[in-house]
Amino acid sequence: MSIFQAILLAIVEGLTEFLPVSSTGHMILTSSIMGISDEAFTKLFEISIQFGAILAVVALYWKKFFNFKNFRFYLKLLLAVIPALVFGMLFDDWIDRTLGDPIFIASVLLIGGIFLLFIDSIFKKGKIEEEGKVSIVKAMIIGTYQCLAILFPGLSRSAATIIGGMQQGLTRKAAAEFSFFLAVPTMAAATGYKMYKFIDSNGMFSGEQIKLLAIGNMVAFIVALLAIKFFVSFLTKHGFKIFGIYRIIVGAVILILAAFGYNLQAS
């Protein structure tokens, strides 16, 4: 992986991590298009630069994350993230297999896009407008929705948790912001786990790998800052339909390319 490829992947991550379009799916497909080898470090890189993106959440909502008197906020995130951590460890091998299957990811993108076309009609306008009004039980239910994204790579963690939030009565804006908050412990744990597995199997990082990880996380952080601000404003005004259409187009194009024999697998 070159520095240019690392930067491009980080831009894709920063743009898509908090949009309901599957950041992991986009990075894997981008890797395939650029011909980046499907090796252990590539898989680690695609997961670990999500850490840079979630730091953008901490930076934008620092008053929420560094209000140490708000114990209830931390408790909700802790309890909400447990189902995803358990599923992630139980289905680790399944995740690795499906992440290497662009056709599976494209199919999930397409099906999820169809669902997003109707999500605003299915879940009418919610009444819970801020995180402080989300109960611990509701937070845990929303957190459980993350398991769907684990079982079906390409679904999007963001989409799953936002839908979960709306199903629990949150407004679109509140559901999106709670999804951002929940991403912090989820992605931090995923990054730590993948790094531990990589070091356990391959030894310590090389100087070049450390440089790529540092650049990737920095770029993902900067791009995610801009993407979050755009997404909250756009989602509040326009809803999910445009994201559904986008997912359907991307998924359909990938499936068509595969049908015509285009090799989407990383070399």
Distances (CA, A) of 231 to 12, 17, 45, 237: 15, 11, 24, 10
Residue 3 pLDDT > 70: yes
Question: Is 72 inside any structural domain?
Answer: yes
How many independent structural domains does the chain possess? 1
Which residues span the domain enclosing 138?
A: 3-259
In this prediction, residue 103 has a pLDDT band, given cuts at 50, 70 and 90, of: confident
Partner residues linked to 170 by β-bridges: 128
Residue 260 pLDDT > 90: no
Residue 159 pLDDT > 70: yes
pLDDT in tens, 207-257: 898 999 999 999 999 999 999 988 888 888 888 899 999 999 988 988 888
The pLDDT value given to residue 17: 87
Question: Is 99 inside any structural domain?
Answer: yes
Cα diameter, the chain: 58
Q: What is the mean pLDDT of residues 56-73?
A: 90
Distance CA(189)–CA(204), nearest Å, equals: 19
Residue 165 pLDDT > 70: yes
pTM of the model: 0.85
205 — phi, psi (to 5°)?
-70, 150
The pLDDT value given to residue 265: 59
pLDDT in tens, 105-143: 888 999 999 989 988 888 877 788 888 899 999 999 999
Question: Is 20 inside any structural domain?
Answer: yes
In this prediction, residue 264 has a pLDDT band, given cuts at 50, 70 and 90, of: low
Q: What is the mean pLDDT of residues 52-72?
A: 90
Question: Is 267 inside any structural domain?
Answer: no
Question: Is 238 inside any structural domain?
Answer: yes
The pLDDT value given to residue 30: 82
The pLDDT value given to residue 244: 93
pLDDT in tens, 7-50: 999 999 999 888 888 887 787 778 777 877 767 788 788 888 88
Q: What is the mean pLDDT of residues 191-218?
A: 87
Distance CA(217)–CA(48), nearest Å, equals: 8
The pLDDT value given to residue 72: 92
Question: Is 266 inside any structural domain?
Answer: no
Where do we find the tokens 């070091």? 199
3-state DSSP percent of the chain in helix, strand and coil, to 5: 80, 0, 20
Question: Is 49 inside any structural domain?
Answer: yes
Question: Is 44 inside any structural domain?
Answer: yes
